[in-house]
Amino acid sequence: MIKKRIIPCLDIANGQVVKGVNFQDIKTIADPVEMATYYYESGADELVFYDITASYENRGTMIELVKKVAKSVFIPLTVGGGVRTVDDFDILLKSGADKISVNSSAIANPNLIKEASERFGAQCVVLSMDVKRVNGQYKVFSKGGRDETDLDAIEWATRGVALGAGELVINSIDQDGVKKGFDLPLLKAISAVVNVPIIASGGAGKIEDFITLFNETDIDAGLAASIFHSKEVSMTALKLAMKQAGIPARLAYMPPLKWDANGLIPTIVQSDITQRVLMMAYMNETSLRETIKLGETVFFSRSRQELWHKGATSGNTQVVTDIRYDCDADTLLVKVKENGPACHTGDYTCFGESPDVFEKLFETIIDRKENPIEGSYTNYLFEKGIDKILKKVGEESAEVIIGAKNSKQELIYEMSDLFYHSFVLLVNEGISLNEIKKELEGRIKPRK
């Protein structure tokens, strides 16, 4: 089965990586070579570089930057922005680019697609389309999303492929930077009329958006910028989630780690549910590869001098949701969804800590969603869906008001019901308890 690709997008302006919302409010965020290297080492499948103001400002392409990036990364590199002629294709490909993306220049001169495809092959020609809904119709925009054209997006995609484009990048201006998910109706409409790979762009806000994209469409790749640049989502966490969802993804890579004299690296294991540190163990290169392959923690036992698959005999496995390394690359942080206690003594953690009642409740609700139990009220709510859950949250909110008027004990009872149903809502929407904690922490103002 062909693996789905995950592609970070680096928008370039004045030689720096920038990001905006709906193609506006552009802000500088990083050095492009450093960021490209980081993504390569993190396991990205490809990289896309867009000089987002090249067409608008009538500037040439970023040849020197392409050369520097090509020397640092060894995954496919697509470059776009300011490409106006077949000679521009030639220069960029010789500088280290694998594919060239055209947008505004192809709109102005559609024959550029045909000429480049005939000279370099369709696999080198990527037609990028900036699309926005206008009066119910998908319209193509040029000049970095600034100028509306009279082109219908569906018709332009069909024509571009007929001219020789070997791949399409569909950028949804409506979804760009807002983190509310990919524009599935647009993507489905275009994929229904072309037979080349399509890269979806615009709207990714969380891991679940990629899972939905690949489960509900036949799109070949997901492209994003904000959530990767901010490190809200790591490449490893996304690839592991895809694996667990049955979506084919490339997982076999090894980050640049500093192993000790015995070929080991200390590994901190943290609950992705309660955020508690569960244990500390060691991995070697083989156990790390097995962990990535299996999606569950595999350590190296120093006492037994052998690999140790956590929970293989006890059943207390740890499903890996993310793997990161520290600033010195000599310690790993592995986030997991734990199935049972981490410690051999039966304690929740190897440090004698236990989750508080809110964490326990939240963990139980997550478990009910992932492992349904017949007759469970929680599973009943999940089965009925968002409307039923929202109705219950509304009812419990009203009952809290009534309870507060009656007695302290009734208020406690009704507030507990509200907490429970609110947690069900959060789990249903893929929001972690930690995200709520972070939001609340940001609202606490220090005493002056």
Q: Which residues are catalytic?
A: 11, 130
What is the phi/psi pair of residue 150, to 5°? -95, 10
Alpha carbon distances (Å) from 397 to 272, 312, 407 = 29, 44, 16
**What letter does residue 154 receive in the DSSP assignment?**
H
* Two structure tokens written together for 138: 């998908």
**What letter does residue 135 receive in the DSSP assignment?**
T
Q: Check: CB of residue 336 under 8 Å from CB of residue 278.
A: yes
Q: Check: CB of residue 23 under 8 Å from CB of residue 130.
A: yes
- Output helix, strand, coil percentages for the chain, rounded to the nearest 5: 40, 25, 35
* Two structure tokens written together for 281: 């163990």
Amino acid at 226: S
* Two structure tokens written together for 405: 């008027």
Give me the torsion for CA of 431, 432, 437, 439, rounded to 10°: -30
Q: Check: CB of residue 264 under 8 Å from CB of residue 19.
A: no
Closest CA to 126 of 84, 167, 85, 83: 167
Alpha carbon distances (Å) from 403 to 20, 186, 410, 413 = 46, 48, 5, 8
Crossing angle of helices 153-163 and 111-120, rounded to 10°: 30
* Two structure tokens written together for 409: 């004990």
**β-pair type (125-134, 167-172):** parallel
Distance CA 6, CA 221 (A): 6
Q: Count how many Cα atoms sit within 13 Å of the Cα of residue 58 in the half-sphere of its side chain.
A: 0
Q: ∠ CA(335), CA(38), CA(187), 5° rounding?
A: 80
Distance CA 176, CA 399 (A): 40
Q: Look-up: residue for tokens 């904000």? A: 226
